[in-house]
Structure 1
Amino acid sequence: MLRFLLLILFIHFSVELLAQESDNVPFAIIEQAPIYPGCEDLDKQTQKKCLQNGITHHIGKKFNTGMVDTLGLEPGIVRVYVQFRINEKGLVDSISARGTHKRLEHEAIRVVGLLPKIKPALDKDNNPVAVKYTLPINLYVEAPKKKKKLGF
């Protein structure tokens, strides 16, 4: 049986402008990044780290690594890229995933969909705006351990 450890080696948030929708703004124009619950009283720089840590903790806690045992994946690092948007109301929407296995993609979408309501980003006029994030989730798949045979 393969043993899987969920490793979020890095969380690199890349924020993009959604050209099709006029209610999204470039990240460079955002005055205040989204604020994760419990991070409200921190300074702006620490709030960004707190957002990353909150999302990292949430994914590490909620991601069902047990189901990965049944996928027959090769040992090594397996990545799932998740894109999502934190909308003007602070809700996560527009979730999509790309990875090496459909079940991993579905699990990543499920877990990101369970994120709590987040205080939305604000533009320079203090209006709530939607921002889009790309999040890589890295899973480390260990090689199966060989069972020792007992000789009688």
Structure 2
Amino acid sequence: MKKFIIPALFCLTIQIGFAQKATDMSTPKVAANGTIHFAVMDKAPLLEGCENASISKKQNKCTADKIEDFIQKAFNKDIARSVSNQRNGENNTVYIRFIVNKQGNVENVGVRTNNSSLKAEVLRIVKTLPAFSRGTHQGNAVNAAYSLTLQADRLLRNAVND
């Protein structure tokens, strides 16, 4: 019997010693500058027309769709044609990140893609996004970090076809 108790206690001690610490997933991470990701906020900043959606996931999807539509409509047609002609098997993804400040204005915009012309045009357009509604978390106005991943084909489709 002692042969089984000692190894069992040893295994239990090892298991407890290497157990991971429990984390509180109910409180979202807030950056040092007071910025929080829009998906985990109590009330994320929204573009006009998205307030009527019933739940926050639909509101966030509506805002993302409106941002994509805004970029498509504002895209310079000459640049779109040039980018479409240059893109031979390049990565099709455009990564966009920006902050919506407490007043609802866009700041700290970043765009990442393989094509420098596409990057410059998307950066220019995102900086001109209309004002968002104020975002709040736990009753306080906060900065909201947005990040979107868009496909270049979809962004260029309307501009090239017009």
**TM-score, with structure 1 as normaliser:** 0.68
The alignment-based identity, stated in percent, is 26
- 1:3 corresponds in structure 2 to none
User: Hey, which of these two has a bigger chunk of strand by percent?
Assistant: 1
Structure 2 Cα separation of the partners of residues 26 and 36 of structure 1: 16
Structure 1 Cα separation of the partners of residues 51 and 80 of structure 2: 35
Give the secondary structure class of the aligned counterpart of 2:35: coil
Structure 1 Cα separation of the partners of residues 88 and 133 of structure 2: 39
C-alpha contact 1:33 1:120 (8 A) present in aligned 2: yes
Cα offset, 1:42, TM superposition: 3.7
Report 1 or 2 for greater relative contact order, CA contacts < 8 Å, sequence distance ≥ 6.
1
Unmatched segments (≥5 aa) in structure 2: 1-27, 158-162
Cα offset, 1:115, TM superposition: 0.8
Structure 1: which amino acid aligns with 2:87?
Answer: L
Distance 1:23 1:73, change over 3 A: same
Matched, 1:135 2:148: yes
Unmatched segments (≥5 aa) in structure 1: 1-15, 143-152
| Count of residue pairs the alignment pairs up | 125
Greater alpha carbon shift after TM alignment, 63-72 vs 78-87: 63-72
Structure 2 Cα separation of the partners of residues 94 and 22 of structure 1: 13
- 2:132 corresponds in structure 1 to 118
Structure 1 Cα separation of the partners of residues 93 and 40 of structure 2: 30
C-alpha contact 1:18 1:132 (8 A) present in aligned 2: no
Matched, 1:43 2:54: yes
For residue 108 of structure 2, the aligned residue among 94, 107, 110 is: 94
Q: Deviations over 1:83-102 (max 9, x none)?
A: 11111110010001111121
**RMSD of aligned Cα (Å):** 2.7
